[in-house]
A = this chain, B = another copy of it.
Amino acid sequence: MIVAMQEKATEEQIDAVIDAMVDSGVNVHRTTGAYQTILAGVGPTANVELRKFELLPGVLYVHRITAPYKLAGRAFRPEGTQVEFANGVKVGGDHVHVMAGPCSIETREQMFETAKRVKAAGGAFLRGGAFKPRSSPYAFQGLGIPGLELMREAADAHGLLTVSEVMEIAQIEPMLPLVDCFQVGARNMQNFNLLRELGQMRKPVLLKRGIAATIEELLLSSEYIMSGGNYDVILCERGIRTYETSTRNTMDISAIPVLKKLSHLPVVADPSHGTGRRDMVAPMAKAAVAAGADAILVEVHPNADKAASDAAQTLYLDQFEKLVGELRLIATAVGRSF
């Protein structure tokens, strides 16, 4: 940490800051300039709350000089991480993947029809939600574990992997045989108890960025999972909240190249939640692949308009097939296979 003192800081103020830094367990190097004194704190600052130094008299700025994450940082694995699944599919390499399925698992027909079409289009993952706590207690709340069994069956019948959201620690155990990848939703990105448990698993985790989370906070959350020994984390950009209301969220496409630079983890883009509008899914999916996304996560449904949830942002299967064809061209244009 670096503490920059104000020009008129007194010697007493400087000494008080040094004492506070030493109290926090860091060694202090002092540089006294003609105008300004700089204090560099070296040592284990990860758990030091930097904000409190800003309040000390005579302090101008306090800055961090080490990244708050290690395992998630690009330097940890400069070559990049490829998350490998049981069937050999790897996310994070040359190949751009598609993960598709309905927001909510509803019926056997829905899942089998979707699985067939996703596979035929070249997709590798079937997605679907089983736990759907809704704002109205009378609305559809999801099929739960029986829904995941349906999805497992449909995926197996067509050689697909499964990905589904886990919302509570108690769901991890029963989900283990049914999903190939746990998804952590935006609202749980900082549910540290859940992240810690997932860090104990040896199964990939797709971690969504919170609706108001910074890129650094997303990486800190991934670090939390990795610190438990589970290095198979896939990051996901799905839109952030801004003042603009034309789209449900503002999809931060620039987060994709920024994450690829700062971290070695694969990055997935979710244009369905990113825009909230079916007619914007295709252009944003293409933009995401052009910007370097390793996979696209998209909501599709055989009868999109009647979907039990997220209907407005769900693609029809025909639209999905057309989109996949377009994504193949974009992937090729940026030197990726598809």
Chain A, 13-40, contact with B by CB distance < 8 Å: what is the 0/1 string? 0000000100000000101010110101
How many interface residues does A have (CB within 8 Å)? 103
Q: How far is the CB of A44 from chain B (nearest CB, A)?
A: 10
Enumerate chain B residues within 8 angstroms of A224, measured Cβ to Cβ: 135, 137
Is the beta-carbon distance between A192 and B135 smaller than 8 angstroms? yes
Query: Interface with B: A59-67, A115-123, A148-156, which one?
Result: A59-67
- Asked if B136 and A46 sit within 8 Å, CB to CB, the answer is yes
Q: Which residues on the B side are within 8 Å of A250 (C-beta)?
A: 240, 242, 250, 252, 254
Cα A138 to Cα B332 with chains together (Å): 45
Q: List 7 A-B contacts (CB under 8 A).
A: A36-B66, A54-B277, A55-B277, A63-B63, A212-B241, A246-B258, A254-B283
Of the listed residues A134, A240, A250, the one surrounded by the most CB atoms of chain B closer than 10 A to its CB is A250
Number of copies: 4
Q: Which of A8, A38, A63, A283 has the most C-beta atoms of chain B within 10 angstroms of its own C-beta? A: A283
Binding site for B on A (CB under 8 A): 2, 4, 6-8, 20, 29, 31, 33, 35-36, 38, 40, 42, 46-47, 49, 51-52, 54-55, 60-61, 63-67, 75, 133-139, 167-168, 187, 190-193, 196, 210-212, 214-216, 220, 223-224, 227-228, 240-248, 250-258, 261-262, 274-280, 283-284, 286-292, 305, 309-313, 326, 329-330, 332-334
Q: Indicate if the CB atoms of A8 and B333 lie closer than 8 Å.
A: no
Cβ of A260 to closest chain B Cβ, rounded Å: 8
A278 to chain B: which residues have CB within 8 Å? 55
Rounded to whole Å, the gap between the CB of A149 and the closest CB of chain B is 21
CB-CB under 8 A from A137, the residues of chain B are 196, 224, 227-228
Which B residues are in CB contact (< 8 Å) with A275?
254
- The CA-CA distance from A137 to B240 in the complex, in Å, is 27
A66 to B75, Cβ gap below 8 A?
no
Q: Which of B46, B135, B193, B253 contacts A133 (CB 8 A)?
A: B193
Chain B residues, CB < 8 A from A54: 277, 312
Bound form: Cα–Cα A138–B228 in Å: 12
Query: Is B242 in contact with A242, judged by CB distance below 8 angstroms?
Result: yes
A137 to B245, CA, bound (A): 26
Out of B35, B216, B246, which one reaches A216, CB within 8 Å? B246
Q: How close is A19's CB to chain B, nearest CB, in angstroms?
A: 11
Partner of A214, one of B51, B60, B243, B309: B243
A322 smallest CB distance to B (angstroms): 12
Q: A66-B36, A288-B287, A333-B329 are in contact. Are A312 and B52 (CB under 8 A)?
A: yes
Q: Lowest 10 A-B CB distances belong to which pairs?
A: A212-B212, A133-B192, A4-B65, A329-B333, A51-B312, A290-B290, A287-B287, A52-B312, A286-B290, A257-B283
Contact B215 A246 (CB under 8 A): yes
Residues in B whose Cβ lies below 8 Å from that of A133: 191-193, 196
- A38 to chain B minimum Cβ distance, whole angstroms, is 6
In the assembled complex, which residues on chain B have CB atoms less than 8 Å from the CB atom of A326? 333-334
- Identify which of B65, B212, B228 contacts A61 (C-beta below 8 A): B65
